[in-house]
Amino acid sequence: MRFSNTLLLLILCFLVITWTVRSVPPQPPVQCDQTGCTVSNTYGVWPDRTNCKAAKVAYPTTEEELIKAVAYASEHNLKVKTVTRFSGTIPKLACPSGSDAMLISTSKYNSAIEIEPGQLTVTADSGVSLRELIDKVEEAAFSLATSPYWEGVSIRGLVSTGSHGSSWSGRGGSVHDHVVGINLVVPATSSEGYAKVVSIEEGRDDEYHWVF
Quick check: is 82 in a domain?
Answer: yes
- Tell me the C-alpha distance between 144 and 122, whole Å: 9
Quick check: is 208 in a domain?
Answer: no
pLDDT by residue (tens digit) across 90-132? 888 888 888 889 999 999 999 999 999 999 999 999 999 999 9
- Tell me the C-alpha distance between 10 and 20, whole Å: 16
Predicted local distance difference test score (pLDDT) of residue 24: 66
Boundary-marking domain end, from 72, 105, 138: 105
φ, ψ at 111 (rounded to 5°): -95, -25
- Tell me the C-alpha distance between 45 and 48, whole Å: 8
- Whether residue 181 contacts residue 202, with contact meaning beta carbons closer than 8 Å, is answered with yes
Quick check: is 198 in a domain?
Answer: no
Task: For residue 65, give the CATH number of its domain.
Answer: 3.30.43
Residues of the chain falling short of pLDDT 50: 1, 11
* Whether the model pTM is above 0.75: yes
Predicted local distance difference test score (pLDDT) of residue 197: 96
Predicted local distance difference test score (pLDDT) of residue 23: 63
Quick check: is 188 in a domain?
Answer: no
Predicted local distance difference test score (pLDDT) of residue 166: 66
Both 68 and 123 in one domain: the answer is no
Both 124 and 168 in one domain: the answer is yes
The residue among 63, 158, 47 whose CA lies nearest residue 112 is 63
Predicted local distance difference test score (pLDDT) of residue 37: 93
Predicted local distance difference test score (pLDDT) of residue 167: 62
Boundary-marking domain end, from 57, 87, 105: 105
Predicted local distance difference test score (pLDDT) of residue 22: 64
- Whether residue 173 contacts residue 167, with contact meaning beta carbons closer than 8 Å, is answered with yes
Boundary-marking domain end, from 79, 105, 131: 105
| Three-class secondary structure of residue 189 per DSSP | coil
Q: What stretches of 56-205 adopt beta strand conformation (E)?
A: 56-58, 80-83, 102-105, 113-116, 121-124, 181-187, 195-201
| Domain boundaries, position 168 | 110-179
Judged by phi (left if over 0) then psi (alpha if -120 to 50, else beta), residue 41 lies in beta
